[in-house]
C-alpha cells in the first residue's frame, strides 16, 4: 500500500469522525448555535484526537502486515504468480483488483522489481536420433557422454561351381555366419552461440569384434571353423552446427536446419591387413576377412538435414530428413596378408537418404517416453565410375523406444533401445546418454 492510499484513508476517516460528531450532537438535542463555543471546540478536539490515535493504530497494523508480506516474499525468493482471470470474480488470482489501474510510481516499482516465477523446465524428450531436438541456450554448453552397443548377425552363402538343373549344384558351397558386436563410447560437446544457433563436436572411441563361422572353401571339410577378429581405436570425429529457422508457436512447428561433417580419424578399412590368400572366394579375386577390424569408414562425408518439432501438450511430435554425401577417393588400395597392396582404383560410396519421425510423451515433470522410426537408404558403391558387381541399394530400418529421466535441472539420463526391421540393420542397439548442462 503506497502513501496515496494512506492519505485517502486518513481523509475518509476524518470525514467520518466529523459526521459522527455532528450526528451525535443533533441526536442529543443540543442546538449548535446555543452551545458554549469553548465546550464544543474541546469536545471536537477530543474526538479528533481519538480518531487520530485510531488511524495511527491502523497505519501501524497495515505497515506491519506489509513488512511481514515482504519478508515472506524474500524468504521464498519470488513474487506471487499472476494467473488467468477467474470467471467467478473476474480478478486475476494473486493480483490486486487495482493493479491494472495503478499509476503511482512506487507501486509500479514494487510490481516490476518482484522476482518472476521460475517454472521448472519441461521434461527432456528421450533422444532417439543423432540430432537433438532442443538447442543449447546462448552462452551455455552441454557435455554428453554416451555408450552405444549394437549386435548383428547375418548368414552368407557362396556357391562355387555350376548347376546342371536348378536343384542340382556341382561344386562347393561356402556358408558363413557372421556375428558382430560393436561398443562405441563417445563424448559430445555442444555450445550455444545464440539462442537459435549452436555448434557441436563428437569424439567416439570404438571397439568391434566379429566372429565368422564357416567351412573352408576347396577343402571338402565337414567341420565348422570360427574366425575371430577385433579392433579398437579412435573413431571418426564429427563436427556439426544447427540453427533454428523460425519462431514456432501455437499450431506451428519448430524447424531446425543442421549440417554435419564426418572426418577420417578412425582406422581406415583399407589399411588393416586382409586375409585374401585362404579366405577369399576365388582365392585372390574375392573379398577377404580383415585380420583387424577398422573403426572408421575411410571416407569424408557431409550431411545436411532438417528437423522439425511440434509440441502438443503433453506430447511432442518430431521428425527429420537428411542426405549424406560421401566424398570419393582416388587410387585406393588395400593391404593383403602377404604384405603386398592390391589396387582398387577410384572408390565412391553411395549417398544415404534418411528419414525419421517419432513422438515423445511426458509421463510427469521429470520423465518422458519416446517412440520412433528411422529409415536410411544407402546407394550403390561405384568403382572407377561403374557400380561394383553385387552392390545393390540397401535399406536400413529400425524402430526405437526411448526413456528419459531428468535427475536435476542440469543432468538427465536417456536410454534408447532399437530393433532392426531389415536383414541389413543391426538386430539390437542400446544407447545410454547423460547430457549435463553448464
Residues 297 and 381 in one domain: yes
Q: Would you state the cell numbers that stand for residue 396, as one nine-digit string? A: 536400413
User: Shortest CA distance to 17 belongs to which of 56, 57, 54, 63?
Assistant: 54
Residues 323 and 368 in one domain: yes
Task: Render pLDDT for 111-162 as a digit per residue (tens, 0 to 9).
Answer: 444 444 444 444 456 677 777 677 899 999 999 999 999 999 887 655 554 4
Task: Render pLDDT for 63-109 as a digit per residue (tens, 0 to 9).
Answer: 887 777 666 555 544 444 433 344 444 444 434 333 344 444 444 44
* pLDDT band, very low/low/confident/very high, at 375 (cuts 50, 70, 90): very high
Strand-by-strand arrangement of the 329-336 sheet: 289-290, 273-275, 329-336, 341-348, 382-383, 386-387
Residues 51 and 177 in one domain: no
Mean pLDDT across 229-245: 94
Residue 156 belongs to what H/E stretch?
strand 141-165
Residues 94 and 237 in one domain: no
CA–CA separation, 180 and 158 (whole Å): 19
Mean pLDDT across 353-373: 92
130 part of a folded domain: no
Contact 45, 17 (CB under 8 A): no
**Which is higher by pLDDT, 138 or 276?**
138
297 part of a folded domain: yes
* pLDDT band, very low/low/confident/very high, at 249 (cuts 50, 70, 90): confident
119 part of a folded domain: no
Classified as helix, coil or strand, 41 is helix
Going by C-beta distance under 8 Å and a sequence separation of 6 or more, which residues neighbour residue 30?
A: none
Going by C-beta distance under 8 Å and a sequence separation of 6 or more, which residues neighbour residue 34?
A: none
Question: Could you tell me where the beta strands, DSSP code E, fall in 315-420?
Answer: 315-326, 329-336, 341-348, 352-362, 367-378, 382-383, 386-387, 394-406, 412-420
Out of 113-117, 309-313, 408-412, which region has the weakest mean confidence (pLDDT)? Answer: 113-117
CATH number at residue 354: 2.40.160.40
> What pLDDT, on a 0 to 100 scale, did the predictor assign at position 77?
46
Q: What is the pTM of this model?
A: 0.67
Query: Residue 380 pLDDT > 80, yes or no?
Result: yes
Task: Render pLDDT for 11-35 as a digit per residue (tens, 0 to 9).
Answer: 444 445 444 544 444 444 444 445 5
Residues 89 and 185 in one domain: no
Residues 179 and 322 in one domain: yes
Residues 273 and 166 in one domain: yes
CA–CA separation, 296 and 293 (whole Å): 9
Phi-psi region of 328 (alpha: psi -120 to 50; beta: other; left: phi over 0): beta
Q: Say how many C-beta atoms besides its own lie within 10 A of residue 347's C-beta.
A: 19
> What pLDDT, on a 0 to 100 scale, did the predictor assign at position 30?
43
188 part of a folded domain: yes
Classified as helix, coil or strand, 24 is helix
Mean pLDDT across 344-358: 93
Contact 79, 116 (CB under 8 A): yes
Residues 102 and 199 in one domain: no
Query: Residue 184 pLDDT > 70, yes or no?
Result: yes
Number of domains in the chain: 2
Domain assignment of residue 85, given as a range = 3-113
132 part of a folded domain: no
Going by C-beta distance under 8 Å and a sequence separation of 6 or more, which residues neighbour residue 108?
A: 102
Query: Residue 435 pLDDT > 50, yes or no?
Result: yes
Contact 281, 174 (CB under 8 A): yes
Mean pLDDT of the chain: 76
End-to-end distance of the chain based on CA atoms, in angstroms? 41
Residues 107 and 168 in one domain: no
Amino acid at each position: 500500500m503506497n502513501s496515496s492510499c494512506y492519505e485517502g484513508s486518513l481523509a475518509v476517516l476524518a470525514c467520518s469522525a466529523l459526521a459522527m460528531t455532528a450526528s451525535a450532537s443533533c441526536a442529543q438535542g443540543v442546538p449548535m448555535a446555543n452551545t458554549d463555543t469553548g465546550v464544543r471546540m474541546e469536545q471536537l478536539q477530543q474526538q479528533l484526537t481519538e480518531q487520530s490515535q485510531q488511524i495511527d493504530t491502523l497505519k501501524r497494523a497495515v505497515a506491519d502486515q506489509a513488512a511481514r508480506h515482504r519478508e515472506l516474499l524474500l524468504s521464498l525468493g519470488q513474487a506471487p504468480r499472476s494467473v488467468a482471470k477467474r470467471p467467478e470474480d473476474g480478478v486475476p488470482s494473486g493480483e490486486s483488483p487495482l493493479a491494472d489501474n495503478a499509476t503511482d510510481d512506487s507501486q509500479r516499482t514494487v510490481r516490476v522489481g518482484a522476482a518472476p516465477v521460475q517454472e521448472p523446465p519441461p521434461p527432456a524428450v528421450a533422444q532417439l536420433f543423432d540430432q537433438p531436438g532442443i538447442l543449447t541456450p546462448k552462452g551455455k554448453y552441454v557435455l554428453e557422454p554416451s555408450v552405444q552397443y549394437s549386435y548383428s548377425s547375418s548368414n552368407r552363402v557362396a556357391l562355387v561351381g555350376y548347376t546342371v538343373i536348378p536343384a542340382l549344384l556341382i561344386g562347393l558351397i561356402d556358408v558363413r555366419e557372421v556375428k558382430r558386436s560393436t561398443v562405441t563410447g563417445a563424448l559430445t560437446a555442444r555450445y550455444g552461440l545464440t539462442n537459435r544457433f549452436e555448434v557441436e563436436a563428437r569424439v567416439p572411441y570404438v571397439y568391434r569384434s566379429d566372429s565368422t563361422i564357416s567351412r573352408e572353401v576347396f577343402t571338402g571339410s565337414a567341420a565348422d571353423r570360427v574366425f575371430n577378429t577385433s579392433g579398437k581405436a579412435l573413431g571418426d570425429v564429427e563436427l556439426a552446427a544447427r540453427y533454428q529457422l523460425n519462431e514456432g508457436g501455437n499450431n506451428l512447428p519448430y524447424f531446425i536446419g543442421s549440417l554435419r561433417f564426418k572426418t577420417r580419424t578412425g582406422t581406415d578399412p583399407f589399411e588393416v591387413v586382409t586375409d585374401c590368400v585362404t579366405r577369399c572366394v576365388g582365392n585372390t579375386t574375392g573379398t577377404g576377412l580383415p585380420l583387424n577390424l577398422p573403426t572408421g569408414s575411410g571416407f569424408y562425408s557431409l550431411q545436411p538435414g532438417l528437423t522439425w518439432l511440434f509440441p502438443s501438450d503433453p506430447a511432442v511430435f518430431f521428425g527429420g530428413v537428411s542426405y549424406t554425401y560421401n566424398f570419393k577417393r582416388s587410387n585406393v588400395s588395400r593391404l593383403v596378408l602377404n604384405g603386398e597392396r592390391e589396387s582398387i582404383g577410384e572408390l565412391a560410396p553411395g549417398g544415404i537418404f534418411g528419414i525419421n519421425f517419432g513422438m515423445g510423451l511426458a509421463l510427469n515433470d521429470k520423465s518422458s517416453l519416446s517412440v520412433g522410426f528411422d529409415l536410411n537408404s544407402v546407394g550403390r558403391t561405384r568403382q572407377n565410375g561403374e557400380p561394383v558387381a553385387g552392390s545393390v541399394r540397401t535399406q536400413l530400418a529400425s524402430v526405437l523406444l526411448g526413456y528419459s529421466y531428468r535427475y536435476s535441472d542440469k543432468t538427465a539420463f536417456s536410454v534408447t533401445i532399437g530393433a532392426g526391421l531389415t536383414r541389413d540393420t543391426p538386430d539390437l542397439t542400446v544407447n545410454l546418454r547423460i547430457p549435463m548442462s553448464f
